[in-house]
């Protein structure tokens, strides 16, 4: 009976040690490539020069809020804390938190007597990489992959004459 109790206690202690060590596996982030993601279109509010007698030259400051979404896919063998891995990815790209704002300055020239609106495309800028075992890049096993939205690009794709 004592031997069985000792074995059970040993198994429980071993289980506690293994559980405590889970998530403490050393890892590093390996940046691989940049790619463009989802494209979203929007139209600015009207730029009114209907009563003007000269061409209107102005700048439109378009702003867009976005999330620095981290899509993390860890292998089944990885014993990592996902939140720590995601935080290290954000730190790698010097992203202070999960939200961002992009500002886009659009030069607008509206002829006298007209009203224009501008069409803008916002494109996600994404970084892809690997989560790798150990502290030294290129020397550990692959533990997973990730993509993270790090920024937005904007461009004017058209102007619509409203009047």
pLDDT in tens, 21-75: 444 689 999 999 999 999 999 999 999 999 999 999 999 999 999 999 999 999 9
Q: Is the pLDDT of residue 19 over 90?
A: no
Residue 29 lies in a domain: yes
Whichever domain contains 30, its CATH number is: 2.170.15
Q: Is the pLDDT of residue 154 over 80?
A: yes
Reported pTM: 0.75
Q: For the chain, where are the alpha helices, taking DSSP H only? A: 2-21, 82-92
**pLDDT confidence of 101, banded at 50, 70, 90?**
very high
Mean pLDDT of all residues belonging to the chain: 87
Q: Is the pLDDT of residue 5 over 80?
A: no
Q: How far apart are CA 102 and CA 104, in angstroms?
A: 7
Percent of the chain with pLDDT over 90: 74
Residue 45 lies in a domain: yes
Domain extent, residue 84, equals 25-161
Angle, alpha carbons 117-41-66 (nearest 5°): 115
Residue 35 lies in a domain: yes
Angle, alpha carbons 115-123-131 (nearest 5°): 165
């Amino acid at each position: 009976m004592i031997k069985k109790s000792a074995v059970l206690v040993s198994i429980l202690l071993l289980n506690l040690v293994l559980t405590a060590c889970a998530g403490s596996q050393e890892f590093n982030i390996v940046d691989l490539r940049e790619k463009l993601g989802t494209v979203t279109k929007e139209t600015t509010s009207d730029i009114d020069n209907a009563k003007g007698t000269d061409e209107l030259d102005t700048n439109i400051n378009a702003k867009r809020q976005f999330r620095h979404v981290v899509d993390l896919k860890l292998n089944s063998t990885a014993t990592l804390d996902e939140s720590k891995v995601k935080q290290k990815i954000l730190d790698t790209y010097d992203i202070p938190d999960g939200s961002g704002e992009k500002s886009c300055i659009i030069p607008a020239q509206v002829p006298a007597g007209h009203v224009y609106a501008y069409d803008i495309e916002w494109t996600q800028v994404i970084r892809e990489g690997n989560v790798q075992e150990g502290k030294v890049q290129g020397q550990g096993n692959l533990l997973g992959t990730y993509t993270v939205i790090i920024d937005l690009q904007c461009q004017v794709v058209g102007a619509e004459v409203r009047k």
